[in-house]
Chain A
Amino acid sequence: MLIQTVNLTKAYSLGHQVVHALQGVSLNIAAGEFVAVMGPSGSGKSTFMNLLGCLDRPTAGDYRLGHEEVSQLSSDELAAVRNRKIGFVFQHFNLLARTSALDNVALPLLYSPLPPQEHAERARRCLAQVGLADRFNHHPTQLSGGQQQRVAIARALVNDPILVLADEPTGALDSQTSVDIMNLLQSLNRKGMTIVLVTHEHDVAAFASRIVTFRDGRVIEDSLNTPNDHGNMPPQIMKPFVLSMIFVRRPKGVGKKQGSQYLPFGSCLEAIL
């Protein structure tokens, strides 16, 4: 297992009140999975993502990433783990302003032991990988939202991480661009990258191969999903399609290919809606 959490718990105090954001989450994610984490606000999904991303430490429970137990590491050790093993994609891209795409992508390398002369080469390779080979010297303001998110994805990949965490990566994008970005993430996943994604939107989650739903700090649902290539699908039929995925709960262990049998149901739903 790439990710193994056992009884992961996070509580924090807001004034006199103790908020139990996460109440014992045990979840395993294998290498190569594409997991969508869903749930309403306050469900604990963001807290879970922060713990997965080693940005925060759990109050209790264990978290094993790769072969390393990381739940009790110091903040500097966590920084090193983030640098070596995790790539982050954020909702608002979080690119450095007035800094070229190349330098933005190379940012994580600054904090890695990699010799500086290799930085530019690796950043270039990653930018080419996300289809921005001709935008090396553009600043974020000279790029569209989708291009900015591509730069951010290239930045997430530049350190050869074992896990990419995407926190609402399409939250600030229009629907067509969202599809582009999700296609990009999906293709990365197909090349073997493990991706965990947080989203509100079912049509975004539909790109994942597994959907984990949180509520009140617990996992209430964990189901496999048949990811489809939505790239060529008109957006208007996507929504009901994804709805069908959610409404029709699939029994555990059902393979990807069988998922396609729900498609007609989705079309029915569209007709109803």
Chain B
Amino acid sequence: MRLTAILRIALHALRINKMRSALTMLGIVIGVAAVIIMIAIGNGASAKVEDQVRSLGSNIILILSGSALSGGAKGGSGSQPTIFEEDATALSKEASLIQAAAPTLRGSGQVIFGNANWSTTFYGTTPDYLEVREWNVIEGRAFEAFEVQGAAKVALIGQTVAKNLFGDTSPLDQIIRIRKTPLTVIGVLDRKGQSMMGQDQDDIVLMPISTARNRVLGATQARSKSVGSIMVKVRPNEDMAAAEAELRTLLRQRHRLQPEQDDDFFVRNLSEILEAQEAASKVMAMLLAAVASVSLLVGGIGIMNIMLVSVTERTREIGLRMAVGAKRQDILAQFLIEAVTLSLIGGLIGILLGIGGAFLVGALAEWPTRLSSMAIVLAIGFSATVGVFFGFYPAKKASQLLPIEALRYE
């Protein structure tokens, strides 16, 4: 018997009982739609984490200066100046796994423009900083190495600072003042958004490190070339752990530390935190998908239930088909294809509903959703499997009826 003929019989049988077919499909429709929406939400969450990784600048290692020990009390990182601008230069020049290293001096204070003012954080750094953080200047230009050497009175400002000080007007070539030092705005940084910790990364002013040290921060920092931290970018596709080991060795050499001595600096690897967050969001996605699969399973059981009812109800039809020449496998195929058709149509509707639902969730709840073609292929495969799996038992039962008994069935 031909497949098209069996398919026609199956579609005919499903059309005859429209309401029942629709209700049976509903289980699969909801199951598939739920799986797709859940996976979309899960993927959206992971993607958001990935975006945050990217916004921080991926593969970044942070080196913080060591802690001071005064009277047995450790002062916390940065309390003792142990790392210097030269360390950063050496790292970017000598360490093979490191692409760029930017020393930073951090300070905070009031930024004033005209009669507007804004409290923000400023960083004195080198042009490498933008490379390390993969940050672009969207208006104007970045400062150059000669401006770092000459402690030029220039600044780059973040979006938040620009908005608060300048509103809609262009900040370029305007003079802002930080701690009474006038700086010319030469560029505006691209929007970075929130960091994972919820900080506004756009609330920032960047200036040459020499400017920050000598002009803004003033005497306390001016004596040495110590820095608060060095932000290091590892070359793409290099192992973070290896890069970390390399920079550790280099810094220990430069600081002339004996093997028995502890590091006089701290190393923070951001990727660990990010990986943990990513793993957490993946677990959440898996959990959501697992819960949704349960409804798919329930839908499958619904199909089996209806197919069993259908086989009983159509016992005489089965008897008749057998009497006029249907072989056992013809009957098996008929009912199996009926079940698979039911679940596949349900699956297709479920996919459409799932796609629509994911968009709706994205739009209404403002959750990031990301449809996965993998999930859709999986949903089709799964619903066909559900049809075969839960359709097989009723179909087998139908095919094993004896023609005389089936014909006589009341």
Contact = CB atoms under 8 A, between A and B. Distances in A.
Interface of A: 50, 53, 55-56, 75-76, 79-80, 82-84, 88, 90, 94, 96-99, 107-108, 110-112, 116, 155, 159
Interface string B387-408: 0000000000000001110010
A88 B323 CA distance: 8
Nearest to A96: B317
A206 B315 CA distance: 33
B282 interface: no
15 contacts: A55-B323, A56-B404, A75-B327, A82-B322, A90-B407, A94-B407, A98-B16, A107-B320, A107-B321, A110-B1, A110-B326, A111-B1, A116-B2, A116-B4, A155-B324
A82 B407 contact: no
Given A50-B404, A90-B407, A94-B320, A79 B5 contact: no
A68 to B, nearest CB: 15
A99 B314 CA distance: 14
B328 A83 contact: no
A8 to B, nearest CB: 16
A107 B319 CA distance: 13
A90 B321 CA distance: 13
B93 interface: no
B19 to A, nearest CB: 14
Given A110-B5, A110-B9, A111-B321, 15 more contacts: A53-B323, A55-B323, A56-B403, A76-B327, A82-B324, A83-B325, A84-B325, A94-B316, A94-B319, A96-B317, A112-B325, A116-B5, A155-B324, A159-B324, A159-B325
Nearest to A115: B2
**Chain B interface residue count: which class?**
20 to 34
Contacts of A76: 327-329
A93 to B, nearest CB: 10
Contact of A80 (B2, B316, B325): B325
B328 A55 contact: no
B407 A55 contact: yes
B325 A97 contact: no
Contact of B328 (A50, A56, A75, A88): A75
Please give me the 9 A-B residue pairs with the lowest Cβ-Cβ distance, nearest first: A83-B325, A108-B324, A111-B325, A79-B327, A76-B327, A94-B320, A55-B403, A55-B404, A98-B16
Contact of A88 (B2, B317, B324): B324
B332 to A, nearest CB: 12
Contacts of A155: 324
Contacts of A82: 322-325
B12 interface: yes
A85 to B, nearest CB: 10
B407 A111 contact: no
Nearest to A56: B404
A97 B314 CA distance: 10
Contacts of B322: 55, 79, 82
Nearest to B317: A96
Contact of B16 (A56, A80, A97, A159): A97
Interface in B305-363: 316-317, 319-330
